[in-house]
Amino acid sequence: MLSAKSLFQEILDDDESFRLFCSIAASGESQGGWENGRIAALVPESQRELAPRIVRHGADEDKHGRIFNALLKKRGLRPAEVPGETDYTMLLESNGIGLAHGRLKREEPLSERDIITYLAHSRVTEQRASEQMRLLCRYFADHPDIGRAVRMISNDEDNHLAYCHEELLRFARAGHGRTIQRTLRECALAEIRVYRDVSLAVMAHMGEVLRWPRAKAAVLAAGIHAMYAYERLVGWRRMVSLAPPERRDALGGPAVAEAEYA
């Protein structure tokens, strides 16, 4: 029977598919770490109190990248080259979502509007990350090789999502509500499209590595298209809602060292 658990297990059991999975994940996390580091350095004076939280966010992302690379090393594997069509972070940027790398490379302070754009982009993408890691936790939290890493990353992603809710609500109270909602909607609709395309690309590469029969590949592709149709119709709304998080000041302390997962 084809299920999310059986699919992940198949990818986990094969060295080459595991290598590709961890390499894609590590690349995305490392890019996120760099982006947050640059945003923290360019925060406008009016929002300087946010800088330590953005630094913590970036440190967590860097940590996740190192964790995925450590999982590869543990199995004696080297990182694989990440196909461009599977690069979720860069594809979002090419669709005009978030702050462009060209902007972040300049030594020019960001505006409050830029910070709202960053937080809205993060709120949407952290929703996706939190859901994906919770799914992995459901099936592999007790796995002897990846269980501890999955639990740590999942906890961090929940913290990141809580932080985005809290800060966006703060901006909303300051009178930016309409801008936030418009930006969130634009980000969500673009993200679900990019996520569909990246998912199709990743599954195509996994299918080649694992030599899936055409029928299996077709079923998986159909499932991805069906999920996109649902998200395009109503599912995107979960990415734009804002509510006070149960975890308050979730990024108020130092990042937890990745060595703790091993």
**96: CATH:** 1.20.1260.10
260 inside domain? no
The H helix count followed by the E strand count for the chain is 9, 0
Best CA proximity match to 83, nearest among 223, 203, 249: 203
212 inside domain? yes
261 inside domain? no
110 inside domain? yes
Look at the chain and report how many structural domains it folds into: 1
Residue 253 confidence (pLDDT): 64
166 inside domain? yes
Extract the residue ranges of the chain whose pLDDT is less than 50: 259-262
Range of the domain at 164: 4-252
155 inside domain? yes
Residue 2 confidence (pLDDT): 74
Specify whether the backbone of 82 is left (phi greater than 0), alpha (psi in -120 to 50) or beta. Answer: beta
Return the SS3 of 77: coil
Integer CA distances (angstroms), 33 to 30, 39, 57, 235, in order:
5, 10, 7, 28
Residue 96 confidence (pLDDT): 86
Return the SS3 of 201: helix
258 inside domain? no
Per residue in 103-135, pLDDT (tens digit) is 999 999 999 999 999 999 999 999 999 999 999
Residue 214 confidence (pLDDT): 95
Cα gap 68→75, rounded to integer Å = 11
262 inside domain? no
Does residue 170 contact residue 116 with C-beta atoms inside 8 Å? no
